[in-house]
Structure 1
Amino acid sequence: IWVHAVSVGETRAAEPLVRALLAQWPEHAVLLTHMTPTGRATSKALFGDEARVLRVYLPYDLGWLARRFLHHFRPSLGVIMETELWPNLLAACRRLQVPTMLANARLSERSARRYARVPALTSLTLGALDAIGAQTAGDAVRLRALGARRVTVTGNIKFDVAPTPAAEARGATFRARIGARPVLLAASTREGEEALLLAAFAQHAPPDCLLALVPRHPQRFDEVAGAVKAAGLGLQRRSDEAEVAASTRVWLGDSMGEMFSYYLAADVALIGGSWLPFGGQNLIEACAVGTPAIVGPHTFNFAKVAEDAVAAGAALRAPDLDAGVRSALALIVDPARRQAVADAGRAFAAADRGATDRTIELLTKLAP
């Protein structure tokens, strides 16, 4: 069974689905394909040396490469995560009779407008899919408007992601290394956000507060380390595997596949990608483990999740990073309010689980 997860976010979202596929079809292996080294590294971190999980890069969307890929691996089923619509690949799947589903599908209004510029190609590409499992009713409406058929609202598989025992143990280890200090986590930050964050943290945070800073992309670890030093803040790296010194103000999370562990070690989290117009990152993991999350104004990639979390009291929204840091620090010194947001986050995450089972149900109908 072939599962395409282009990069880190899609790979992490695919984790519960991959495990369910292995359980549902024990005679099959799962082939995970990626387009980025970070996606491949994430799958390695999640599934380790699991003999039934293979991983390769997906070739570029050229007809002859797509056909060669499918002839070589001969998948019984194809599952494409979220929004990766490759016309030649899907045409080859249809021609070679490989049933293919778009799972955990999301389509923002911005992306829908882009696809609408090439209506014939978009309709043809969506029409090549045998099933679509949309995250929300809004996603389903936008997909149907572009020509998609066989669309079912299955929910967001990311609600089914849970920390493994190893991740929980690692989180406890992180917390032991840090000690009793309050911890503000900046999760999956993007370029341009760190400078604003560091300035706000230096201005507002008390000396005992530790900033755990985890950039989204590993190729930026050294760049962000340089920015911390330029800001005059004491730095340590997670990769040093050392206890965090009292003089350290910023602990750089220079690792892959450990986000749950960072959330478990933190008191409050600022969600990266939402402070500048990148569209935000997934806040469900923070909610699931009871780490209060604060998002910025730019959450269009996760619009419904972010809006629903804020409405449920499971997350807070701030207009900029200066306000975000101040809101986080206010939560840290108010244990009762922090606990209320944590409890609301756990309830919010638990209420929307089940998308994996609904996706498996659709795939069972497609299986030859």
Structure 2
Amino acid sequence: MRFFYSLIFYLALPLVLLRLLWRAIKAPAYAKRWQERFALFPKPDDGRPLICLHSVSVGETIAASPLIKRLLQDYPEHQLMVTTTTPTGSALLQERFGDQVLHVYLPYDLPDAMARFLGKLNPEILLIMETELWPNLLAACQQRGIPSLLLNGRLSERSARGYQRVSALSQPMFAALDGVYAQTSADQERFIASGAKAEHCEVSGNIKFDLQLSEELRAQAAVLRKQWQGGSEELGDVEGAEKRFIIAAASTHPGEDEIILQAFQQLLAKKPNARLLLVPRHPERFKDVARLIEASNLSMQRRSESRSLKALAEDCQVILGDTMGEMLCFFGAVDAAFIGGSLVDRGGHNMIEAAAWGLPIVTGKSCFNFAEANALLQNAGALRQVSNANELAAHWLELISNPEVARSMSDSALSVAEGNRGALDKMMMGIAAHLNKR
């Protein structure tokens, strides 16, 4: 079956390249370093053994950051190669770790490209974040005796059903994994049902709970909060001014921004001192979302243009988060969070970062990508789900009007975030065990 998969991939390659060019129209970085997508890059000549970690894009790179720090700390005698598939993931990785790690794009899952990739790197181990599994990559690792571990693994019911439809291809792929560290017992069961070996699967928890907020980050967030609240680090708070209640709408998708802006307009009619931080998931949408804000007759300030300002403009109602890699800091500067990808059928995004800051959280109904974290936060009273603009506006109004409700949700969120750490240590033990076998 893998032969036919590879044949179809080769035949579809012109369409794949056209799609790459199409994406480059809105995000020019996709047109750069395209050779790496065929494993055409210089061979690392450091001479040290190499660990390879694949983190896909921004979300996985953020989640993998504590792991990357531990790998650099625990294995200084190794090189660390981190691969992504998106330019935004690459940019965030280089911003956070610079030349401490090597980086290339993961090649397309073609037999010859993967053979070149592994031949040049010859990694001692391949680590994969979440569910970015490719049949030819894992088969090539198995043939070369390179152990492959899936870390922070998640497999929704929807994805599991999709794999079952191509089980002749997917079952050998899952069976090739030497270790699966699943977020939940339900994920573990679905991995085993999909073909992973039961003796290779264990529940580690979600590494995203192992997020640590550094003192430097807390200080940056505190400065930003003062600026957005109407004061500045130098000027202090504006005397006698009512505190602004700032809401972050994070990682939004097409179809959600309109709902969020409608809800915010309803809120402004009753609470004119509210402010909205709107952060689209993908940078190529920044201009489109800016036009939506302007069409809603809301005054806007772009984060990219206001970094040097001492304070948010008095008449600014919406801050457009049109920068990359600042979301974690943003959460420390606001009063509540909406997590996107949930009012449309995208499965939601990471709400754990907001919980780590102790924020009251609201999402839409589509949260299958973070089902366990969603359930933990919802059961603790830290998170609420809404279906439309009216419900979203009503929830925000309650948070502003009833500080006790906001404080209770905040305390619960922080309790959940702090009580579910430990996944990183389990994963590091598994990595060490496989490296010691080499």
Say if 2:58 is the partner of 1:8: yes
Distance 2:170 2:409 in 1: 41
Q: Secondary structure at the match of 2:195?
A: coil
Q: How many angstroms does 1:320 deviate by?
A: 2.2
The aligned counterpart of 1:137 is 185
| Deviant stretches of 4+, over 4 Å | none
Which of residues 241, 254, 264 is equivalent to 1:191?
254
Q: How many angstroms does 1:313 deviate by?
A: 1.2
Say if 2:273 is the partner of 1:208: yes
The aligned counterpart of 2:359 is 291
The aligned counterpart of 1:227 is 292
Which of residues 321, 338, 341 is equivalent to 1:253?
321
RMSD: 1.2
The 10-residue stretch of structure 1 (230-239 or 19-28) with the greater mean CA deviation from structure 2: 19-28
The aligned counterpart of 2:71 is 21
The aligned counterpart of 1:101 is 149
Q: Aligned runs of 1:117-156 on 2, under 5 Å?
A: 117-149=165-197, 150-156=200-206
The answer to whether the 8 A contact 1:197-1:322 is kept is no
**Residues 340 and 134 of structure 1, relative CA distance in 2, 3 Å threshold:** same
The aligned counterpart of 1:278 is 346
Q: Secondary structure at the match of 1:116?
A: helix
Structure 2 length as normaliser, TM-score?
0.82
Q: How many angstroms does 1:365 deviate by?
A: 1.1
Q: Which amino acid aligns with 2:264?
A: F
Which of residues 188, 209, 214 is equivalent to 1:164?
214
The aligned counterpart of 1:306 is 374
Q: Aligned runs of 1:307-326 on 2, under 5 Å?
A: 307-326=375-394
Q: Secondary structure at the match of 1:197?
A: helix
| Gaps in structure 1 of 5+ consecutive residues | none
The answer to whether the 8 A contact 1:193-1:275 is kept is yes
Q: How many angstroms does 1:314 deviate by?
A: 1.8
Q: Which amino acid aligns with 2:402?
A: D
Q: How many angstroms does 1:203 deviate by?
A: 2.0
Q: How many angstroms does 1:170 deviate by?
A: 2.4
The answer to whether the 8 A contact 2:359-2:410 is kept is yes
Say if 2:160 is the partner of 1:112: yes
The 10-residue stretch of structure 1 (207-216 or 314-323) with the greater mean CA deviation from structure 2: 314-323
Deviations 1:203-225 (A, max 9, x none): 22222111011111111111111
Q: Which amino acid aligns with 1:43?
A: L
The answer to whether the 8 A contact 1:267-1:332 is kept is no
The answer to whether the 8 A contact 1:208-1:246 is kept is no
The answer to whether the 8 A contact 1:3-1:31 is kept is yes
Q: Secondary structure at the match of 1:213?
A: strand
Structure 1 length as normaliser, TM-score?
0.97
Higher relative contact order (CA 8 A, sep 6+): 1
Distance 1:236 1:91 in 2: 50
The aligned counterpart of 1:174 is 224
Q: Secondary structure at the match of 1:275?
A: coil
The answer to whether the 8 A contact 2:267-2:396 is kept is no
State the structure with more CA Rg: 2
The 10-residue stretch of structure 1 (106-115 or 276-285) with the greater mean CA deviation from structure 2: 276-285
Q: How many angstroms does 1:307 deviate by?
A: 1.4
Distance 1:44 1:325 in 2: 38
**Residues 163 and 257 of structure 1, relative CA distance in 2, 3 Å threshold:** farther
The aligned counterpart of 1:53 is 101
Q: How many angstroms does 1:310 deviate by?
A: 0.3
Instruction: Give the number of aligned pairs.
Output: 366
Deviations 1:133-153 (A, max 9, x none): 000000000010111011111
Q: Secondary structure at the match of 2:332?
A: helix
Say if 2:333 is the partner of 1:268: no
The aligned counterpart of 2:88 is 38
Deviations 1:161-182 (A, max 9, x none): 1233333222122212112311
